[in-house]
Structure 1
Amino acid sequence: MTDDPIDRSGLAPRFWEKKPLAKMTPAEWEALCDGCGKCCLNKLEDEETGEVALTRVACRLLDDATCRCAQYPIRHQFVPECITLDPKTIQDNMYWLPQTCAYRLLAEGRPLYDWHPLISGTAESVHRAGVSVRGMTYSEFEVADEDWEDHIIEEPL
């Protein structure tokens, strides 16, 4: 998978169907990321209902072309509030994860979509399926906080 920044080599076939999230290795955990970029979108939460809406306004570190964090290993140096999603934090953070997110799907006992790179064999499949945010975001530096509501998107894409 030369087009994929995540090394998915050496992983057991369909490991996600046999192993619970809490038992996954760091490599397996990272391989679950489909590269859609939706987790890096800024969200608005309705204080009364708790409903979370995605916006086209992305974290300053999101690379709009690759749908990946441009500084993933050191992102907390730039965005201290960036949430580290792991088996310990998944339950507390599922409410804001995208509907199509592999972590959310597996935590809810649902299967991965056919376009997921672990199934399709290519990172481009998420983009071809129209599920990623490639080419459709604005940097948080471009949009004033009070204007984020103007950029709400329906989910799933």
Structure 2
Amino acid sequence: MTSRGDDETKEPFWTLPLERLTRAQWEKLCDGCGRCCLVKLEDEDSGAIHHTNVGCDLLDPASGRCRDYAKRKAKVPDCVRLSVTALKTISWLPPTCAYRLRAEGKPLPDWHPLLTGDPDSVHRAGVSVRGRVAALESEVEIDDLPHFIVLWPKRWPRRRKGGVV
């Protein structure tokens, strides 16, 4: 890997504190799983967040990436722009999220594309939304969203034989 932190540390940039990342490094930290682009429902009484397998209309279910990342806020006003500050208040990021992991001082998982050099490693590991999105948001009536609640976005993928994902 040629992407490194500053010349003094010679550490991979993804091991640096999030506050020290450049914008380009920050963007590369995303593994492309697409879990954050699934519609979430909040229980009005308990505040609990429930993930669905319904994707944002801009989500490409095959790649796990946004179809129009540069203009996403204009097209989807409630799209959340992650930042170091926002990470302190967002409780719904999946446990596998690189931003969440690094904010908690944890390393990237072994399947992360920055470690493997392969953007498809997130899909092979069973972490991404590929093959799991039932519909896009515009295809589902809001009252029907509770029927699409799923648990997998809040979980780590199961380990395969030999401990390899």
* 2:12 is aligned with 1:14: yes
Runs (5+) with no aligned partner, structure 1: 1-8
From 77, 98, 102, give the equivalent of 1:102.
Answer: 98
CA contact (8 A) 1:39 1:97 kept: yes
Q: Does 1:57 align with 2:54?
A: yes
2-side partners of 1:66 and 1:16: how far apart? 22
Q: Which amino acid in 2 is paired with 1:133?
A: V
Structure 2: which amino acid aligns with 1:101? C
Q: In the alignment, what sits opposite 1:37?
A: 34
Q: How far is the alpha carbon of 1:85 from its aligned partner?
A: 0.5
Q: Compute the TM-score of the two structures, normalised by the length of structure 1.
A: 0.87
Q: Give unpaired runs (5+ residues) of structure 2.
A: 5-10, 158-165
Which amino acid letter does the alignment assign opposite residue 55 of structure 2? Answer: A
Q: Which amino acid aligns with 1:100?
A: T
For 2:132, which of 133, 136, 149 is the aligned residue? 136
Count of aligned residue pairs for this structure pair: 147
Cα offsets for 1:53-97 (capped at 9, x unmatched): 21011111001111110000011121111111112322122x011
Highest RCO, 1 vs 2 (Cα 8 Å, sep ≥ 6)? 1
- Rg (Cα) greater in structure: 2
| 1:98-133 Cα shifts (integer Å, max 9, x gaps) | 111000111112221111001111110000001100
Cα distance, 1:153 vs. partner? 1.4
